[in-house]
Protein backbone atom coordinates (compact mmCIF):
# COMPACT_ATOMS: atom_id res chain seq x y z
CA UNK A 1 0.00 0.00 0.00
CA UNK A 2 1.25 3.46 -0.94
CA UNK A 3 0.97 6.36 1.51
CA UNK A 4 2.27 9.81 0.53
CA UNK A 5 3.07 12.73 2.84
CA UNK A 6 2.95 16.10 1.13
CA UNK A 7 3.97 19.68 1.57
CA UNK A 8 0.89 21.85 1.40
CA UNK A 9 1.56 25.50 0.65
CA UNK A 10 -0.79 27.55 -1.47
CA UNK A 11 -2.66 24.33 -2.33
CA UNK A 12 -3.23 20.95 -0.71
CA UNK A 13 -0.86 18.15 -1.70
CA UNK A 14 1.40 20.60 -3.49
CA UNK A 15 4.32 18.16 -3.67
CA UNK A 16 5.35 14.87 -2.05
CA UNK A 17 8.03 15.01 0.65
CA UNK A 18 7.98 11.34 1.67
CA UNK A 19 6.11 8.15 0.91
CA UNK A 20 5.85 4.63 2.20
CA UNK A 21 5.36 1.32 0.46
CA UNK A 22 4.22 -1.21 2.99
CA UNK A 23 6.46 -0.81 6.04
CA UNK A 24 9.32 0.93 4.16
CA UNK A 25 9.42 4.75 4.20
CA UNK A 26 11.31 6.89 1.68
CA UNK A 27 12.24 10.56 1.75
CA UNK A 28 11.97 12.50 -1.51
CA UNK A 29 15.45 13.83 -2.24
CA UNK A 30 14.54 15.57 -5.48
CA UNK A 31 11.55 16.20 -7.71
CA UNK A 32 12.90 15.50 -11.19
CA UNK A 33 9.76 16.40 -13.11
CA UNK A 34 6.06 17.04 -12.66
CA UNK A 35 3.15 17.34 -15.01
CA UNK A 36 -0.56 17.93 -14.72
CA UNK A 37 -3.74 16.70 -16.32
CA UNK A 38 -7.34 17.77 -15.84
CA UNK A 39 -7.84 15.68 -12.67
CA UNK A 40 -4.38 14.45 -11.74
CA UNK A 41 -0.76 15.32 -11.06
CA UNK A 42 2.33 13.24 -11.74
CA UNK A 43 5.61 13.60 -9.83
CA UNK A 44 8.83 11.97 -10.97
CA UNK A 45 10.97 11.78 -7.84
CA UNK A 46 14.32 10.49 -6.69
CA UNK A 47 14.05 8.96 -3.23
CA UNK A 48 16.68 8.56 -0.55
CA UNK A 49 17.27 4.98 -1.78
CA UNK A 50 18.53 6.58 -5.06
CA UNK A 51 15.70 4.95 -7.05
CA UNK A 52 13.29 6.78 -9.36
CA UNK A 53 9.54 6.70 -8.78
CA UNK A 54 6.59 8.24 -10.59
CA UNK A 55 3.75 9.02 -8.21
CA UNK A 56 0.28 9.88 -9.55
CA UNK A 57 -2.20 11.87 -7.51
CA UNK A 58 -5.87 11.65 -8.53
CA UNK A 59 -7.38 14.89 -7.26
CA UNK A 60 -11.02 13.79 -7.60
CA UNK A 61 -10.52 10.59 -5.60
CA UNK A 62 -7.81 12.04 -3.31
CA UNK A 63 -5.82 8.90 -4.12
CA UNK A 64 -2.11 8.22 -4.81
CA UNK A 65 -0.73 5.48 -7.06
CA UNK A 66 2.77 4.28 -7.87
CA UNK A 67 2.94 4.44 -11.67
CA UNK A 68 6.60 3.64 -12.27
CA UNK A 69 9.74 2.44 -10.53
CA UNK A 70 13.32 2.33 -11.82
CA UNK A 71 16.34 1.26 -9.87
CA UNK A 72 18.78 4.14 -9.68
CA UNK A 73 22.41 4.05 -10.65
CA UNK A 74 24.68 3.71 -7.67
CA UNK A 75 28.35 4.49 -7.45
CA UNK A 76 30.34 1.35 -6.83
CA UNK A 77 33.88 1.41 -5.43
Q: Global pTM?
A: 0.88
Q: Would you write out the chain's pLDDT as a tens digit for each of its 77 residues?
A: 899 999 988 877 889 999 999 999 999 999 999 999 899 999 999 999 999 999 999 999 999 999 999 998 766 55
Check: CB of residue 19 under 8 Å from CB of residue 37: no
Q: Give the residue among 21, 76, 77 at the shortest CA–CA distance from 53.
A: 21
Amino acid sequence: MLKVNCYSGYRANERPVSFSLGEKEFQVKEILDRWYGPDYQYFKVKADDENIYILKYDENKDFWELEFYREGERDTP
